[in-house]
Amino acid sequence: MEILYLLIPLSAALVLIILGIFGWALHRGQFEDLEREGERILQYDSAVLDADQIAAQQQSKQSPPV
């Protein structure tokens, strides 16, 4: 029964922290334009490559086929 003295305040604190994070996300505009983000994954854009991927791609183009 004494564990309730620990669990109830901890659960109340967790709820307040979750509500604070959700309020922060709302304030920062995280949920403003959900349709554009859903459509963005369907559009074809050229892939963003880092330096290692660019070097590997150029190397594969330059090497003769085996």
Count structural domains, the chain.
1
- Structural domain boundaries, residue 32: 4-62
What CA–CA distances, in Å, run from 34 to 28, 38, 44?
A: 14, 6, 18
pLDDT (tens place) for every residue of the chain, 66 residues total: 899 999 999 999 999 999 999 999 999 988 888 788 778 778 766 666 677 878 887 887 776 665
pTM, rounded to two decimals: 0.52
Predicted pLDDT of residue 63: 66
Predicted pLDDT of residue 52: 81
